[in-house]
């Protein structure tokens, strides 16, 4: 089995035409995959229609690639299309049982008047409560179901991931963007963003750094059916900091540790830090954007493109 896979990722966000011009649109875009030791962005571009928009590339406070979009010419309708080609390389996962006891990791972040490593200092950013991932006793009690005394850190993280995967139901209608983790914990239903926030909040509530991972997941079409263009979605998962292994990732929605099927856009404290597209629009009529995502193996994408060319000839 190949230990690397190349993908084409297309992410489109379209604000529909409504007949009333928008005077100003400004957005922050997290739409191009991050360069990582296990991930290479071979190509990437963002196209905006109308073509009057200004795009400025840069990095955010977490080192993620971002673009600032500004469109101050009156316009009716907006399309933002990100096109990326990315190669994901397989990773060797550490043995969970060989990781340190979770309490010893928690103790590393107790206040001490002594210097700590740069990596541990960076991990501290993901230890405290954030808007979508609070810290409290109820969430700590939930985490304690997986983190028994003396359990190795990564074994506890694995158990917490499996607890969410096995006892919560994926339900796209159960929650909204602003649904709290406490509601998710009560309903035991939600989507990938909800499960990631819940796992992060539980980990932080027992003193362990955890960050929100944003990206995409390759999904398989039903047997005998072709892969549909535009039918995928953004995905979210979790990374836990381990002193000996740096950041180790877990996908509580699917009960797996990310590998070749996960494409990473970036990370932050929670969804608000790495929302694919967020900003302000002045004028026009309130319209919910339409989002279309395609994640496809590059070879399959190229074959489709060739077939389309032959069909048009």
Q: Residue 303 maps to which CATH number? A: 2.60.40.2250
The answer to whether residues 85 and 140 belong to one domain is no
What are the pLDDT digits (tens) for 201-224? 999 999 999 999 999 999 988 888
Residue 150 lies in a domain: yes
End-to-end CA distance of the chain, in Å? 36
User: Are residues 243 and 166 part of one domain?
Assistant: yes
Residue 45 sits in the same domain as residue 103:
no
Whether 269 maps to a domain, the answer reads no
Name the residue with tokens 């292994």: 245
Q: Does residue 20 register a pLDDT over 80?
A: no
Domain count, the chain: 2
**pLDDT bracket for residue 113 (50, 70, 90):** low
Q: What range defines the domain where residue 134 resides?
A: 96-258
**Residue 53: how many other CB atoms lie within 10 Å:** 20
In a domain, 264, yes or no: no
Whether residue 101 is contained in a domain is answered as yes
Contact indicator for 182, 237 with CB cutoff of 8 Å: no
CA nearest 25: which of 80, 66, 64? Answer: 80
Sign of CA dihedral 154, 159, 165, 168: negative
Q: Which of 93, 144, 37, 127 shows the shortest CA–CA distance to 251? A: 93
Q: Give the chain's mean pLDDT.
A: 92
Sign of the torsion angle spanned by Cα atoms 262, 265, 266, 268 = negative
Same domain assignment for residues 54 and 197: no
Token duo for residue 25: 């649109």
pLDDT bin (cut points 50, 70, 90) of residue 97 is: very high
Q: Looking at the structure, do residues 198 and 214 belong to the same domain, yes or no?
A: yes
Q: How far is CA 26 from CA 67, 218, 276, 312, in A?
A: 11, 30, 14, 38
- Does 249 lie in the same domain as 101? yes
Flag whether 14 is in a domain.
yes
Q: What are the tens digits of pLDDT across the range 207-266?
A: 999 999 999 999 988 888 877 777 789 999 999 999 999 999 999 999 999 999 999 999
Does 20 lie in the same domain as 110?
Answer: no
């Amino acid at each position: 089995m190949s230990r690397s896979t190349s993908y084409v990722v297309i992410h489109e966000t379209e604000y529909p035409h409504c007949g009333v011009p928008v005077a100003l649109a400004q957005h922050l875009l997290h739409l191009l995959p991050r360069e990582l030791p296990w991930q290479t962005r071979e190509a990437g571009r963002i196209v905006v229609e109308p073509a009057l928009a200004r795009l400025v590339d840069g990095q955010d406070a977490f080192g993620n690639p971002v673009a600032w979009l500004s469109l101050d010419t009156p316009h009716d309708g907006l399309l933002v299309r990100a096109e990326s080609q990315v190669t994901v390389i397989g990773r060797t996962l550490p043995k969970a049982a060989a990781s340190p006891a979770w309490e010893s990791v928690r103790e590393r972040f107790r206040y001490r008047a002594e210097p700590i490593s740069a990596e541990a200092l960076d991990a501290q950013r993901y230890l405290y409560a954030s808007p979508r991932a609070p810290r409290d006793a109820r969430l700590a009690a939930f985490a304690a179901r997986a983190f028994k005394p003396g359990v190795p850190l990564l074994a506890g993280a694995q158990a917490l991931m499996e607890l969410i995967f096995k006892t919560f139901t994926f339900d796209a209608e159960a929650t909204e963007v602003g649904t709290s983790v406490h509601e998710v914990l009560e309903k035991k239903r939600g989507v990938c963003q909800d499960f990631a926030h819940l796992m992060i909040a539980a980990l932080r509530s027992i003193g362990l750094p955890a960050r929100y991972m944003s990206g995409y997941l390759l999904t398989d079409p039903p047997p005998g059916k072709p892969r549909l263009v535009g039918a995928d979605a953004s995905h979210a998962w979790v990374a836990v900091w381990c002193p000996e292994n740096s950041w180790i990732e877990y996908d509580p929605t699917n009960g797996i540790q990310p590998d070749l099927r996960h494409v990473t856009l970036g990370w932050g404290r929670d969804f608000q830090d790495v929302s694919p597209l967020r900003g302000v629009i002045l004028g026009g009529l309130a319209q919910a954007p339409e989002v279309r995502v395609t994640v496809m193996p590059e070879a399959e994408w190229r074959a489709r493109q060739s077939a389309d060319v032959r069909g048009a000839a």
